[in-house]
Amino acid sequence: MVSELELKEIIGKVLKEMAVEGKSEGQVVTETKKPSESYIEDGIIDDITKEDLREVIELKNVANKEEFLKYKRKTPARLGISRAGARYTTHTMLRLRADHAAAQDAVLSSVNEEFLKANNLFTVKSRCEDKDQYITRPDLGRRLDEESVKILKEKCVQNPTVQVFVADGLSSTAIEANIEDCLPALLNGLKSYGISVGTPFFAKLARVGLADDVSEVLGAEVTCVLIGERPGLATAESMSAYIMYKGYVGIPEAKRTVVSNIHVKGTPAAEAGAHIAHIIKKVLDAKASGQDLKL
């Protein structure tokens, strides 16, 4: 009777012979990697959010791929995504979660202080104390705190023809992505029209309505705020410009002229800056903004 030890030796010899025969027949015998070994070189994986969804079709059998791509390039909507049974594929789900995470980061993060210094923007703030209060108390985000009122009166030109300022709004990411190109283009555009501009600054934890308070404090004829918009799954970098003529606290929303969708996949920042300058000139010429302005 064969003992257990002898049986193990026989099995070991058979396995070795099978491995040798496999190699001689051109088969490749590989060792299984240990679970602890990494499959990612250098610990870096591709950023899934860098992929342009307008150029991607996940469907396996598309009748007319070129025509479908023409359709997709017209919208950032998630068309042509694939499924595994009743569920999204892994790639689709990961991209959805990545875009959602980017939107959350845009809302909850703050504009980098070094970025503001590099763009010569000093900081004031609304009456909100932190992000939580900013999100839950929009009314406080529309008014300057007492210290900020003093700072504006000390550092800014009083009664400017145009007052331009930057606000984080609901997307600090949008500010860092667009201001470096948009603000210089806007200021240079106004200068080319011979329009004097006040001292630019940055407003933290600000809502669009903060421009009303700024307009009253500085006595600006036209006030323009460049503000980060509420991010979505299409982009977290969208910025808008809100322009009003002789603003005051409590001015109707219909009195604001808006240039929206300023981002790399919308209206490019530099182009938007020049366009905003052109609109501000029209506002000054017509002495009106919002629904009262005929463009």
Distance separating alpha carbons of residues 148 and 225, to the nearest angstrom: 16
Q: Please check if 208 is assigned to a binding site.
A: yes
226 close to 165: Cβ distance less than 8 angstroms: yes
Whole-number Cα distances in Å, 202 to 54, 136, 220: 34, 22, 16
Q: Number of H helices and number of E strands within the chain?
A: 9, 8
The pair of three-digit structure tokens given for residue 150, joined into one six-digit string: 């003093």
Residue 214 annotated in ligand binding: no
Q: Count CB-CB contacts under 10 A for residue 266.
A: 17
Compute the distance between CA of residue 243 and CA of residue 259 in angstroms, rounded to an integer: 8
**Helix/strand/coil percentages in the chain, nearest 5:** 45, 15, 40
User: Tokens 């600054």 correspond to what residue?
Assistant: 201
**Residues near 109 by Cβ (< 8 Å), separated by ≥ 6?**
172, 173
What are the backbone dihedrals phi and psi of residue 212, each rounded to the nearest 5 degrees, phi first?
Answer: -65, -45
Can you tell me the distance from the alpha carbon of 8 to that of 275, in angstroms, rounded to the nearest whole number?
82
Q: What is the C-alpha separation between 159 and 203, in angstroms, rounded?
A: 19
Give the integer Cα–Cα distance in Å for 197 and 280: 11
Strands of the chain, DSSP E? 83-84, 87-88, 123-125, 162-167, 202-204, 222-228, 239-245, 257-262
Q: Output the known binding site.
A: 208, 229
Q: Output the known binding site for adenosylcob(III)alamin.
A: 208, 229
